[in-house]
Chains A and B, each alone.
Chain A
Amino acid sequence: MSFSLSVTVNGVARTVVLPDPRVTLLDLLRERLDLTGTKKGCDRGQCGACTVIVDGRRINSCLALAVSYDGADILTIEGLAHGDALHPIQAAFIAHDGFQCGFCTPGQIMSAIGLIQEGQAGDDPERVREGMSGNLCRCGAYAGITEAVLDAQQKLAERDRKEAA
C-alpha cells in the first residue's frame, strides 16, 4: 500500500508517494527530497542532529513518521540563507566559533531558531543552555554555541524592534 504525501519544504510545495509507511520525516528529507543538510546522528531522538522546524516548532525528524505529517510546513537548514546572505543565526555560529566538525551544526541552528521563537530563554545563558540540551556536540563547542544563540537572539530582537518602528 502506498501513501501520497503533500508537504511544504522551505516554501516549496512537494508531493511524494511513499511505498511504505516506515519512512521517517528525516529519511524523506534526505533520501527522497535530496535535502541532506539535515543530519542523521543517532536516529533515535537522543542527539538532535535531525532537528527541523515543523509548523513553527522544532522537532526531531528521526522520530516522526512522514505519513503523519501530510500537509505540514517544514523549514530545514537549506531554507535559511538568501543566496550568500546568511541567516543571523548562521552568521552568529561563524562569528562565535559555534562548531568544529560541523556535523551537529544544522540541528543546532534549527534548534536555536526554535528556541528563539519560543521566547522562553531570553538573554539568560542558563536558560539557553537548558533549552539547547537536546542538541549534542561531540566536539564540545557548547560555549561558542551559547554565545552564538545569545548574540543572534539580541540581533533578531533589534531587527524586530526596527521593523516595528
Chain B
Amino acid sequence: MNSFDYVRPATIQEAVAAASEPGAAYLAGGTNLLDLMKGGISRPRRLVDVGRLPGLDRIETLPGGDMRIGALVRNSDLAHDLEFARRFPAVAEALLSGASAQLRNTATVGGNLLQRTRCPYFYDPASACNKREPGAGCDAHGGDTRLHAILGWSDCCIATNPSDFCVPLVALDAVVEIEGRVGPRDVPLTSFHRLPGEAPERDSVLEPGELIVAVRLPAEAAGFAPHARYLKVRERTSYAFALVSAAAALRMEGATIAEARIALGGVAMKPWRARSAEAVLAGAAPDRAAFGRAAEAALADATPSGANAFKIELAKRIVTRALTLAAAGTPERVPALPASPFAVSSGVLLDA
C-alpha cells in the first residue's frame, strides 16, 4: 500500500475542501478502497475519512413519504430496518445477497454506489486496463469474459458494475444527493453511473471533491412492495458477485399489470434499467408469454463482448424468472438464501 495523508474532517464542508485536492479519496467503510489500495490499483495521496461525519447515518421518512437514507448507513442496518424492508423489499433482498455479513456490517450506502468493477484485468496491475490507466489498452478483450458486459460496452472497456443494491434502486427511480464545492445537487441514479465510452476511468458523474450524502427513494416506489423481487445468478450460492441479476417489481391493478419496473445487474458498467421491457408489460396480464416478451425487449440491444453470449440468454431467463417471482408476491421475509435461484418458492418456474 502506498503511503498517504489521513485526515478526518468534522463537517461536510471541510470534507469537500479536503477531497477537492488532486489525489485525494474519500474513505467510509473502506471495504472496497482498502482492498484496491492493498493491490496497488488505487494509490490515493490523501484519505479523507468521512466515516464520522454527523447526520449521515440516518434512515428517515420525509414529510411527503420519500425515504432518505444517509450515505453512511451500513448495508446491514438498511437491510434489517423494518420500515425500509417493508416498503422496499427488493432492495433489502439485494443488499442481503451481496458480500458477507462482516462486509455488510462495514460497507456503506454511499460506498456501494462508488464500488469499482470486479474485472480481473482491472484488479491485476500486470494487465492492460484503460480504466486503471487511461490509454493502456484492455486485456479483457479476448480474455476471460464471464464477468463482462453485454450491454453498453465500448472498445475501450467491457467491465461491469458489481453492485446488487443499485439494481433495484435504479428500477425504483432512486435519487442521489450530492454535496460539492458549488453546493448540493440531486442526480437520478439512472444518470449517476457512466458507460465507458472513450473514458472508462470515470465511473460516475461525480466531480472532484463531490460527496454522496444520501440516497432518496420516492414515496410512490413503495407501491411496488407487494410484488418486488431481486434474483441473482452467481458462481456459488453465497458471497459472490452476480454473473447476471435482475430486479423486477410490479404494480398490479386486479389481474393486470398497471406498471412494471425492471433492471439488470452484471450486464453493463451501470445498473441497467430496461424501460422498453417495462413498456411491454404495462396493461398486460402477468403470464409467461408477457414475461418472455419483456425479457426479449430487455436484451434486444445486447451483444457479447467476448465469449459471453451465454449471458444474453441467461439474462432473458433471469428477467423472466424475476418477473414470475414478483408476480407470485413478495415473501413475508427475505428468503434464507436471498435472491438465490436455488431458493425454492411456490409458483416458480425452475426452467424459466
List residues of chain A with CB under 8 Å of any chain B CB.
1, 3, 20-22, 24, 43-45, 48, 51, 57-60, 63-65, 67-68, 111, 114-115, 118, 120, 124, 126-127, 129-135
Contact = CB atoms under 8 A, between A and B. Distances in A.
B102 interface: yes
B100 A134 contact: yes
Interface string B15-35: 000000000000100110011
A22 B101 contact: no
30 contacts: A1-B5, A3-B6, A21-B4, A22-B1, A44-B35, A44-B39, A45-B103, A48-B100, A51-B102, A58-B101, A60-B102, A60-B103, A60-B106, A63-B30, A63-B106, A64-B30, A65-B30, A65-B47, A68-B27, A68-B30, A118-B80, A120-B80, A126-B336, A129-B238, A130-B336, A130-B337, A130-B338, A133-B237, A134-B99, A134-B239
B38 A133 contact: no
Q: In the complex, which of the residues A21, A45, A129 has the most CB atoms of chain B within 10 Å of its own CB atom?
A: A45
B105 A58 contact: yes
Nearest to A55: B105
B3 A63 contact: no
A127 B336 contact: yes
Contacts of B102: 45, 48, 51, 58-60, 111, 114, 134
Chain B contact residues (Cβ within 8 angstroms of A): what range? 20 to 34
A120 B8 CA distance: 34
A110 to B, nearest CB: 9
B296 interface: no
Contacts of A134: 99-103, 239
Contacts of A1: 5
Contact of A111 (B30, B31, B101): B101
Given A58-B102, A132-B101, 7 more contacts: A20-B3, A58-B105, A124-B336, A130-B338, A131-B101, A133-B101, A134-B239
B51 A59 contact: no
Interface of B is mostly: loop
A115 to B, nearest CB: 7
Contacts of A64: 30, 34, 106
Contacts of B210: none
Given A22-B1, A65-B27, A126-B336, A133 B238 contact: yes
B38 A114 contact: no
Contacts of B179: none
B203 interface: no
Contacts of B237: 133
Contact of A133 (B35, B80, B239): B239
Of A111, A126, A132, A133, chain B has the most CB atoms within 10 Å of the CB of A133
A1 B105 CA distance: 30
A48 to B, nearest CB: 6
Contacts of B47: 21, 65
B34 A24 contact: yes
B105 to A, nearest CB: 4
Contacts of A44: 35, 38-39
Contact of A68 (B38, B51, B100, B105): B51
Given A111-B101, A111-B102, A130 B238 contact: yes
Nearest to A129: B238
The 10 closest A-B pairs by CB, nearest first: A134-B100, A21-B6, A133-B238, A126-B336, A133-B239, A57-B105, A127-B336, A134-B102, A60-B102, A63-B34
B29 to A, nearest CB: 8
- Of listed B39, B76, B106, residue having the most chain A CB within 10 A: B106
B47 to A, nearest CB: 7
B49 interface: yes
B101 A115 contact: yes
Contacts of A60: 31, 102-103, 106
B56 to A, nearest CB: 15
